[in-house]
Amino acid sequence: MTTKGEAFAGLSVAMTTPFRDSEIDYEALRGQVEFQIEAGTHCLCPVGTTGESPTLDHDDHERVIAAVVEYAAGRIKVMPGTGSNNTAEALRLTTFAERNGADAALVVAPYYNKPTQQGMYEHYKALAEAVDIPICVYNIPGRTGKNIEPETIARLAELPGIALVKEATGSMDQASAIMALSNVTVLSGDDSLTLPLMSIGARGVISVVGNIVPRDMLALVQAFDAGDFAAALSWHRKLFPLCRDMLSLATNPIPVKTALRLLGRDTGEMRMPMTPLDEESEAKLRSTLGKYGLL
């Protein structure tokens, strides 16, 4: 069955934001874009959780969106994070993304202020009516403090502009309910759940581990789409320890930035209050990267 946001099926990568001496390293950012294009990634998602959007000021946030669109130059889709717990702010960021050539917008559920389900609906409705690019509802209650219920997502899916859901509740039942009630394209928000979610109808992933091994995550998705379930399962099992470390060793994006530093692809620098991985956890990550064949 074709879903509303089918153009964004496959592998999207939740990009990190590279820093050098506390400033955004745009040369490294350009390198990230080229790395993903060469890997065959379908879509880039800058300035989301993995991109440390909470510690970017408004100017930084907009500059990164504009830079990634410029570097992509139409060779790969760009779906930047434009969410906020303030509807007016989310509207400003989303309209900026549209004006600057983004292909879609990844909009996290309003966090901290915990709106009602009607509040969630009105928030996304306001955005969907203001822009012409597709909107991906990003549901991650572990960070926002409030779940967007499947019935609310089904209501939102009736709006033309709501095309996708980044499903990061960790609940297969939630994902099943969304897909039973609507025709939005569901993308996994957890790398380790990509194969299980695709088995019930999800169409891909917005990946953290894709910063490190995009070709392998893409191989998993493509194997499943080709009906080669044995190959997809093999990739799932290979990727699982790496996916696990990205979330279990510390808060995202601390582990992935540490991994990129160990691989010589980033300074590993983060902005406070994000702090470096502790020595014991870094040793575990180094071991996982070594067993994977990356170190």
Q: What is the pLDDT of residues 21-41, one digit of tens each?
A: 999 999 999 999 999 999 999
**Residue 168: is its pLDDT beyond 90?**
yes
Question: Per the structure block, which two tokens stand in for 188?
Answer: 């996994």
CA distance linking residue 76 with residue 27, whole number of Å: 18
**Residue 105: is its pLDDT beyond 80?**
yes
Amino acid 1: pLDDT: 65
CA distance linking residue 2 with residue 123, whole number of Å: 26
Amino acid 2: pLDDT: 78
**Residue 180: is its pLDDT beyond 90?**
yes
Biggest CA pair distance of the chain: 49
pLDDT > 70: what percent of the chain? Answer: 100
pLDDT > 90: what percent of the chain? Answer: 99
- 0.95 cut: is pTM over it? yes
With cut-offs at 50, 70 and 90, classify the pLDDT of residue 97.
very high
- 119-141 pLDDT, tens per residue? 999 999 999 999 999 999 999 99
Active site residues: 138, 166
Contact (CB, 8 A) for 51 and 17 = yes
Report, as an integer, the average pLDDT of 78-94. 98
CA distance linking residue 139 with residue 118, whole number of Å: 15
- 261-284 pLDDT, tens per residue? 999 999 999 999 999 999 999 999
Per CATH, the number for 7-228 is: 3.20.20.70
- 215-257 pLDDT, tens per residue? 999 999 999 999 999 999 999 999 999 999 999 999 999 999 9
Residue ranges of alpha helices (H) inside the chain are: 26-39, 58-72, 87-99, 117-130, 141-144, 150-157, 172-181, 194-199, 214-225, 229-248, 254-262, 279-292
- Torsion sign (Cα): 178, 180, 184, 190: positive
Q: Is 133 helix (H, G, I), strand (E, B) or coil?
A: coil
Average pLDDT, the chain: 97
